[in-house]
Amino acid sequence: MMEVVMDKLSREDLYSLEEYSRMRAEFRSKVMEHKKFRKVHLGEHITLYFEDRMTMQYQIQEMLRVERIFEADGIQDELDAYNPLIPDGSNWKATMMVEYSDVEERKEALSRLIGVEDKVWVQVAGCEKVYPICDEDLERDTEEKTSSVHFMRFELSSEMVAAIHSGASIAIGVEHPHYHAVVDPLPVEISDSLSADLHRH
């Protein structure tokens, strides 16, 4: 598998508004195809979306398009907001969504699931579980409820990275008193996509 080095995005990597409007449909379908293998459902109500350079470029391009941002400072603000979500070669970065379609049920669940983001784990076969560092940009829990969106970073040891590149399986789960789910092992297309986030040493 070819090695992908996750450089952060710069203004030179982005399409102008005009270019983007021309090729948006094509880029979007490429991104949607890519995202299929970066999404992990934990039970019915929690989904992890693993971010990378392509998913963040899409996010930035869409923001620039919607907000009609074409000035250098505005573009830089978006880069500064989204670049931290691109993995650094020894970690995975994910957006976690707690999803309930019924508003009342969601309200009740969010008050029951306080701290759930800290109870998500990833595990490389033969290694310890890794729990995430959550919401580094801002605190998303209150005493009454958790948020329906959390950002998480899973830091992996060099042994874990080496094991993944040697084909070790990956499991992901959540173990909260009110919510349990495990995917073990991850489907191979997903582990392949996630292994591309990690530098080979």
Measured in degrees and rounded to the nearest 5, phi and psi for residue 117 equal -60, -30
Contact 116, 174 (CB under 8 A): yes
Write the DSSP symbol of residue 115. T
pTM equals 0.92
Instruction: Tell me what pLDDT residue 6 has.
Output: 60
The pLDDT assigned to 135 comes to 87
Beta strands across the sheet bearing 133-134: 39-42, 46-50, 91-98, 149-155, 133-134
Dihedral sign for Cα atoms in the order 192, 198, 199, 201: negative
Virtual torsion, Cα 144, 150, 151, 157, nearest 10 deg: 80
Q: Report the chain (201 residues): mean pLDDT per 10 consecutive residues.
A: 65 96 98 97 98 97 97 96 95 97 95 96 98 84 88 97 97 98 98 94 62
199 near 158, Cβ under 8 Å?
no
Distance (Å, whole) CA 138 – CA 117: 14
All residues at 6 or more sequence positions from 8 whose CB lies less than 8 Å from its CB, including other chains: 79, 83, 86
State residue 33's pLDDT score: 97
Q: What angle do CA 117, 119, 121 make, to 5 degrees?
A: 100
